[in-house]
């Protein structure tokens, strides 16, 4: 498009954690003159960088979603010809500030492109906001008109959208009318994958704590309003316990009540080291990650680490990918699922999971992607007889976990058993 004289300025909006990936990819593959700037630092610094981005070559500005809506005025004045929404499912919620800003910015740009592997994470209604950015002529400007046309609102309080059977074909055709879909099977010659569920038996005392927490959580639900938020809050505490901790996600306040998963993970790591294989370990909670890192430190095993607080993200990934003496990668699922390649390993261990289908699928793809030459194995550490089993089943079946738990409760069942 640049060579054809159609564009001179490109705005790329992406999650904060993968801004640097765009710079790397341009360096590696752009076969034309360009001037790229990643907008970081204070708002004043970002604005100054944007103002000085000029010249005869293609101008590319890369910014994260949060900053894009805060600097909407300056980005509008910069007047990009093409806007790319990377990991575009980040704007699936139509009424948040980031989405509204992208809708307005997109309306002014001549060209728009949205990239995502998960346009629909849980509900088909997710497509509206993304398509409002891309081309509002497809589904219109009004979320409520779109919802009323394609969905029935059901469940408690009529808050759950269910796609009307009579509208499935029309919705699908409209989605594909401006979409290009490439599956891994079509464009990559990737090896097979295998899932292994490793049952972990919690210690008797930990299991007693867990059962008491289940009873308390169910009793608390019975005393108050049953909402998805309430159910997930209580599920969160149970998930923390199966990972070995009680308390907050602050390692200084969390109490370790079980080492069952940690011992099983240590055995898996020992086996991988004996076979001279690299391993990716994914966990949800910071206390879990800290415990895993302490275990690796004690064993003298070098590792790369990626959480929300890690600054040298690219360096951590490069060490794992390129250095034989860094055999383990430890990542937080909410952070390690986007924009990185971990194909030095063919085995990924899920120490714990969150409830996001998008995070789950994106994280799995870190080892099963271009460059992978051997079959991939996913090992799920699942505490027997706990919510771990429900969470994994929902993710593997692409089910709405929160809705199913609320439905269980309304059917007279304890949703946490």
Right CATH number for 193-410 from 3.40.50.1820, 1.10.540.10, 3.90.1580.10, 3.40.50.300?
Answer: 3.40.50.300
Residue 168's pLDDT is what? 95
| pLDDT, tens digit, 9 for 90 and up, residues 99-155 | 999 999 999 999 999 999 888 876 899 999 999 999 999 999 999 999 999 999 987
- Pairing relation of β-strands 245-246 and 255-256? antiparallel
- Pairing relation of β-strands 193-200 and 347-350? unpaired
Residue 370's pLDDT is what? 85
Instruction: Please report which confidence band the pLDDT of residue 248 belongs to, taking 50, 70 and 90 as the band edges.
Output: low
| pLDDT, tens digit, 9 for 90 and up, residues 284-295 | 999 999 999 999
CA distance linking residue 2 with residue 8, whole number of Å: 6
Find the angle CA(39)-CA(99)-CA(402) to the nearest 5 degrees: 120
Q: Is 353 exposed, middle or buried (0-12, 13-18, 19+ CB in 10 A)?
A: buried
CA distance linking residue 299 with residue 327, whole number of Å: 12
CA distance linking residue 202 with residue 36, whole number of Å: 51
Q: Which helix (H) or strand (E) holds 201?
A: none
Chain-centroid distance, C-alpha 7: 31
**CA nearest neighbour of 339 among 92, 12, 44, 10:** 12
Name the CATH topology of 9-181: Rossmann fold (3.40.50)
User: Strands, DSSP E only, in 164-206?
Assistant: 193-200
- Pairing relation of β-strands 160-163 and 151-154? antiparallel
| pLDDT, tens digit, 9 for 90 and up, residues 156-185 | 778 889 999 999 999 999 999 999 998 877
Residue 287's pLDDT is what? 95
The residues of the chain that CATH labels 3.40.50.300 are: 193-410
CA distance linking residue 256 with residue 31, whole number of Å: 53
What tokens were used for 187?
A: 């464009």
Residue 140's pLDDT is what? 96
Instruction: Please report which confidence band the pLDDT of residue 252 belongs to, taking 50, 70 and 90 as the band edges.
Output: low
Residue 175's pLDDT is what? 95
Tell me the percentage of the chain whose pLDDT exceeds 90. Answer: 64
Q: Where are the alpha helices (DSSP H) in 243-338?
A: 260-274, 286-299, 313-322
Name the residue with tokens 């309080």. Answer: 157
Could you tell me which residue, 43 or 221, shows the higher pLDDT? 43
Name the residue with tokens 């909410």. Answer: 334
Sheet holding 328-332: strands in order across? 193-200, 376-383, 347-350, 279-283, 328-332, 303-306
- Pairing relation of β-strands 376-383 and 193-200? parallel
What tokens were used for 401?
A: 């976990």
Q: Judge whether residue 399 has pLDDT over 80.
A: no
Calculate mean pLDDT across residues 54-83: 95
Residue 223's pLDDT is what? 77
Could you tell me which residue, 314 or 111, shows the higher pLDDT? 111
Name the residue with tokens 């009318």. Answer: 177
Find the angle CA(279)-CA(294)-CA(310) to the nearest 5 degrees: 70
Provide the mean pLDDT of the chain: 91
What tokens were used for 384?
A: 């027997």
Q: Judge whether residue 406 has pLDDT over 70.
A: yes
The residues of the chain that CATH labels 3.40.50.10810 are: 9-181
350 forms beta bridges with 282, 380
Could you tell me which residue, 216 or 223, shows the higher pLDDT? 216
Q: Judge whether residue 383 has pLDDT over 90.
A: yes
Q: Judge whether residue 17 has pLDDT over 90.
A: no
| pLDDT, tens digit, 9 for 90 and up, residues 343-362 | 999 999 999 999 888 889 99
By three-state DSSP, how is residue 36 classified? strand
Residue 274's pLDDT is what? 84
DSSP secondary-structure letter at 330?
E
Residue 249's pLDDT is what? 55
Instruction: Please report which confidence band the pLDDT of residue 228 belongs to, taking 50, 70 and 90 as the band edges.
Output: confident
């Amino acid at each position: 498009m640049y060579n054809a004289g159609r564009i001179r300025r490109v705005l790329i909006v992406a999650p904060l954690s993968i801004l640097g990936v765009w710079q790397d990819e341009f360096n590696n593959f752009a076969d034309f003159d360009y001037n790229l700037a990643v907008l970081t630092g204070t708002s004043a610094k970002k604005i100054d960088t944007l103002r000085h981005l000029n010249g005869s070559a293609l101008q590319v500005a890369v910014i994260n979603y949060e900053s894009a809506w805060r600097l909407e005025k300056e980005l509008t004045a910069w007047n990009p010809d093409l806007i790319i929404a990377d990991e575009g499912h980040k704007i699936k919620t139509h009424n948040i500030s980031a989405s509204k800003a992208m809708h307005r910015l997109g309306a002014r740009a001549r060209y728009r492109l949205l990239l995502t592997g998960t346009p629909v994470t849980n509900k088909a209604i997710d497509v509206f906001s993304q398509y409002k950015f891309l081309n509002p002529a497809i589904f219109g400007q009004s979320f409520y008109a779109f919802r009323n046309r394609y969905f029935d609102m059901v469940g408690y309080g009529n808050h759950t959208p269910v796609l009307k059977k009579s509208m499935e074909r029309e919705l699908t055709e409209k989605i594909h009318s401006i979409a290009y879909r490439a599956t891994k099977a079509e464009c990559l010659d990737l090896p097979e994958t295998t899932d292994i569920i490793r049952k972990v038996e919690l210690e008797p005392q930990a299991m007693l704590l867990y059962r008491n927490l289940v009873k308390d959580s169910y009793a608390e639900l019975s005393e108050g309003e049953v909402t998805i938020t309430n159910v997930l809050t209580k599920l969160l505490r149970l998930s923390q316990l199966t990972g070995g901790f009680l308390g907050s996600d602050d390692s200084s306040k969390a109490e370790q009540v079980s080492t069952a998963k940690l011992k099983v993970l240590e055995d898996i790591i020992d086996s991988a080291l004996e076979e001279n294989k690299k391993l990716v370990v994914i966990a949800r909670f910071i206390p879990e990650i800290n415990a895993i890192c302490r275990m690796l430190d004690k064993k003298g095993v070098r590792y790369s680490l990626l959480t929300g607080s890690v600054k040298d993200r690219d360096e951590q990934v490069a060490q794992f990918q390129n250095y034989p003496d860094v055999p383990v990668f430890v990542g937080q699922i909410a952070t390690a699922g986007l924009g990185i390649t971990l194909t030095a390993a063919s085995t990924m261990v899920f120490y714990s999971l969150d409830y996001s289908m998008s995070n789950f699928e994106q994280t799995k793809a870190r080892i099963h992607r271009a460059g992978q030459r051997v079959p991939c194995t996913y090992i799920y550490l699942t505490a027997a007889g706990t919510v771990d089993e429900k969470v994994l089943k929902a993710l593997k079946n692409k089910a709405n976990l929160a809705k199913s738990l609320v439905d269980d409760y309304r059917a007279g069942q304890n949703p946490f058993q």
